[in-house]
Amino acid sequence: MMTQAFYTGISGLITSQNAIDVTADNLANINTVGFRGYNAEFASLFEENINSVGNTGSLSDSIGVGSRLQTTSMMLDSGSYASTDISTDLAIFGDGWFGIQNVNDTLYTRAGDFTFDENNDLVTNEGYYVLGTLGSNIQNEVLTSKIDSLVLGDITSQEILNFPKSLSYPAEPTATVKFYGNIGTEDTSISYGSGVVDSNGDKNNLKLLFTKSATQPASGTQWDVIATVKTLDGLTTYDTQNATVLYNDIGALLSTTLGSLNNNGSSVSIDLGTGYSGLVSSSTTARSGSTVADGAMGGELMGYEINQNAEVIATFSNGEQSSVGKIALYHFQNDQGLERINGTNFKESSNSGEPIFFTNEAGENILGAEVKSFKLESSNVAIEESLTQLIIMQRTYGANSKSITTADEMIQKALGMSS
């Protein structure tokens, strides 16, 4: 029994050393982006009951034979968040993991320091590919449709987010120009203009010139309108129309003979509104005017950025933007069951369960947490707590070392007594 103290002390030394190693690793990664710290958890080894057989007390006395490191459990608290000036830096506020892929495996991480590589793949700083849903709006390096927001696809359909280096935003010819304001009632001319895009992607000028008709109705006001579409330099005229616009005696639009105009091969409809909803003719307010035209000029890709919804946004030289991909956010039944590959990358296991997506009431896959760009999540290790644990483990190590020394001295005395 005398040697049992040796085994107890030795197991304590090993356990304390393991705990020191875990804490030291936490401290070494205090500045590692997305690092998940670990806690050392202990268990006692076999114990020997020394109570008498007939003892019926509620307390039992036993002699243990030391301790062991039972497991290291992942810290689930979020780390602190730091702002950056890079749009591809992402931080998860809440539960969830980014999915990344190396040659053989799908891994999961909280480290969102992503970037686009030379092939325009979205990758981690280790070169792992980031997984998500690609928009179906790119074909042959041309944006086929503008998407404001993407919905995540099925969890099994997530793929590497790759985007073309060259991408064109096709021109959208102007179909309608809406006019708003007040042309007044004074017998002076007033004009309104708007830029309109033709089918070639060129911008032209549409102009409406209002002059009071020579003959006025018995009630209300009538205006003559000359509508023209010209090139911006004014050298080429694509269409000219003469029309009349009739208002009632309180300025509401009654009728117009304005039709569609030829815009270098595409048709542009003129919308003056109805009643008081568009262009009115009133003496009670000052003259004013504004226009709203649809359509867009063609543009070339300026670059990719990531917004607050973890969507990859393509920005074009014409000022237009479109979502072309969405980064996936994975969840697990038991995050602590993930198998640690290194400090920031993890792999699913039988303890963690398979990855899942959260869904909304409509059954659509959602992120399930807030993802913010221009931010990174730091290590979730609290330096003050880790340093305290390190001091405790050092003292525990010293105490176990002392128990071995004491046991050795006792054995030496016992051997001296027998002699």
Q: What digits encode the pLDDT tens for the residues 393-406?
A: 888 878 877 777 87
Q: Is 325 inside a domain boundary?
A: yes
* pLDDT value for 384: 85
Please state which of the ranges 44-53, 146-155, 286-295 shows the lowest mean pLDDT: 44-53
Domain termination residue (choose one: 260, 293, 326): 293
Residue 243 · residue 263 · CB < 8 Å = no
Region of residue 244 (phi > 0: left; psi between -120 and 50: alpha; otherwise: beta)? beta
Region of residue 368 (phi > 0: left; psi between -120 and 50: alpha; otherwise: beta)? left
Residue 166 · residue 142 · CB < 8 Å = no
pTM: 0.73
200/279 same-domain check: yes
The domain of 407 spans: 4-49+63-76+379-418
Please state which of the ranges 147-156, 386-395, 410-419 shows the lowest mean pLDDT: 410-419
Q: Is 193 inside a domain boundary?
A: yes
Q: Is 54 inside a domain boundary?
A: no
* pLDDT value for 265: 93
What are 263's strand-pairing partners? 266
* pLDDT value for 22: 85
Domain termination residue (choose one: 293, 316, 334): 293
Q: Using CA atoms, how far apart are residues 57 and 387, in angstroms rounded to an integer?
A: 41
In this model, does residue 255 exceed pLDDT 90? Answer: yes
How high is the mean pLDDT of the chain? Answer: 89
- Structurally, the chain folds into a number of domains equal to 3
Q: Using CA atoms, how far apart are residues 16 and 267, in angstroms rounded to an integer?
A: 81
* pLDDT value for 405: 81
Q: Is 45 inside a domain boundary?
A: yes
145/68 same-domain check: no
In this model, does residue 12 exceed pLDDT 80? Answer: no
204/265 same-domain check: yes
In this model, does residue 63 exceed pLDDT 70? Answer: no
Domain termination residue (choose one: 293, 317, 332): 293
181/284 same-domain check: yes
Q: Using CA atoms, how far apart are residues 383 and 390, in angstroms rounded to an integer?
A: 10
Q: Is 56 inside a domain boundary?
A: no
Q: 56: pLDDT confidence band, cut at 50, 70 and 90?
A: low
Q: Annotate 218-234 with b (16+ C-beta within 10 A) or e (fewer).
A: eeebbbebebbbbeeee
279/387 same-domain check: no
Q: Is 58 inside a domain boundary?
A: no
288/180 same-domain check: yes
Q: Is 217 inside a domain boundary?
A: yes
Q: Is 412 inside a domain boundary?
A: yes
* pLDDT value for 273: 94
Q: Using CA atoms, how far apart are residues 265 and 418, in angstroms rounded to an integer?
A: 117
H or E segment to which residue 42 belongs: strand 38-44
202/280 same-domain check: yes
208: domain CATH number? 2.60.98
The better pLDDT of the pair 20, 409 is held by 20
306/165 same-domain check: yes
343/363 same-domain check: yes
Q: DSSP H helical segments within 201-257, as ranges?
A: none
305/164 same-domain check: yes
Q: 46: pLDDT confidence band, cut at 50, 70 and 90?
A: low
Q: 209: pLDDT confidence band, cut at 50, 70 and 90?
A: very high
251/232 same-domain check: yes
- Percent of the chain past pLDDT 90, that is, above it, reads 67
287/190 same-domain check: yes
Q: 364: pLDDT confidence band, cut at 50, 70 and 90?
A: very high
